[in-house]
Amino acid sequence: MSSMNPNLRSSRAAATLLALALGALLAHPVYAAEEPSRTTATYDAWTLRCVTPAGSTRKSCEIFQAQQSPTQRGPVSQLAIGRADKKDPLKMVLQVPPNVWLGTAPKITFDDGQAPIALALERCLPAGCFAETGLADDVVKKLRARTAPGRIEYEDGLRRRIASQVSFDGISAALDALAKE
């Protein structure tokens, strides 16, 4: 037989029942938080991802590519192309680690003489720094036609040059799919 105080035993039983009842109540669809709807499709090196926030019919889509390093876990950068509204022009956004040198703007460079794409650093958060630029139609046309890779270049906080390869394989098909969303 337990030597526990009867009042303490009944308090624990009441707390357990309350927790179970609250859990059952919160599991009801009316109280459960809706998850956003997410879809992805892959086009060679590019992925189309779309998110529809819970309770909304407005879908937000972008194409992106994560650049990996053989010496680090996880992506070293992510390059995305999308638009806030279907009527807006395309925008390129680059996410790099938070330890960037703010005085040097990141850029996408090419070995074949195509002009680099300069991005302006907009904000830094604990998850990374974000640089962006609008993409004119002629630049999008050149990106669609690319067969050779480019490079993402920026300087880290110690002013060391960082470069990672970006592939344009599949970008034309990914941009076509993005236009249909």
Residuewise pLDDT in 10s, the chain (181 residues): 445 454 444 444 433 333 434 344 444 444 445 777 999 999 999 999 999 988 888 889 999 999 988 787 878 899 999 998 888 999 999 999 999 999 999 999 999 889 999 999 999 999 999 999 999 999 999 999 999 999 999 999 999 999 999 999 999 999 999 999 9
- Do both 150 and 116 map to the same domain? yes
9: containing domain: 1-32
Q: Do 13 and 92 have their domain in common?
A: no
pTM comes to 0.77
Three-state SS at 58:
coil
Q: How many domains does the chain have?
A: 2
> What CA dihedral angle connects 127, 131, 132 and 133, to 10 degrees?
-170
Residue 175 main-chain phi, psi, to 5 deg: -65, -35
Task: Identify whether residues 99 and 157 lie together within a single domain.
Answer: yes
- 75 and 25 both lie in a single domain: no
3 state SS of 70: coil
| 90 and 19 co-located in one domain | no
Residues 74 and 17 in one domain: no
